[in-house]
Amino acid sequence: MSRPGRLVRAGAWLARWHLALPLAALLVALAELAALRAVWIFSFGPERRIPEWADLPLGHAVLWGLGGAGAVLALAGAYRLVRRGRAWVAAAVVPLVCLPVAVISLGSLYASLVVAAIL
């Protein structure tokens, strides 16, 4: 089977088991951690690659952009899984994937408000 064919089959399998949103949430959370790492390396690594004024806005943009997306996907994924998915799948994926991703994502939004001296 060709690679596109395998991807389509994998997507169909994820959709059938209502796992596409939790998986997307997990990937977004991992992407957020990678993006944050890129911001601090580009700011204070051996060679500065972004202007000094961008240190903070870029960090907050990542915290809000990917944090917000991760939170929405994790909660939407939990909703869909609980509503339509198999009970045993929901019982495993909601606490093991959706909750940790929601903690990371909502934590990002909260941390952004805390470090921006708003809360």
Partner 1 sequence: MPAPPDRRRLALLVTPLLAAAALALVVLAGDVPVLRARSLDTGTTRAAVALRDHVIPFQKWGTKLFTLPHLEEGYDRVYYLTQAYRGDQREELIRALDDALRTHDQVDLFLLAHTNELFTWTGSLDPALRRKLRLVYNTGCGDAWQARTWLSLGADAYVGHPAMKSMSPAFYFYFLRRWVRGHELAAAVDAGNRAAARRLGWLGLSGGATDATAVVAGRGDLWIGGAP
Q: Which residues bind partner 1 (CB under 8 A)?
A: 37, 39-41, 43-45, 55-56, 59, 71, 74-75, 78-80, 82-87, 94, 98-99, 102-103, 105-107, 110-111, 114-117, 119
Contact 96, 62 (CB under 8 A): no
Q: Which amino acid is it at 66? A: L
Distance CA 63, CA 42 (A): 16
Q: How far is the CB of 74 from partner 1 (least distance, A)?
A: 8
Helices (H) and strands (E) in the chain, counts: 5, 0
- Residue closer to partner 1, measured from CB, 26 or 98: 98
Q: How far is the CB of 4 from partner 1 (least distance, A)?
A: 25
- Residue closer to partner 1, measured from CB, 3 or 24: 24
Q: List phi, psi (to 5°) of 104.
A: -60, -45
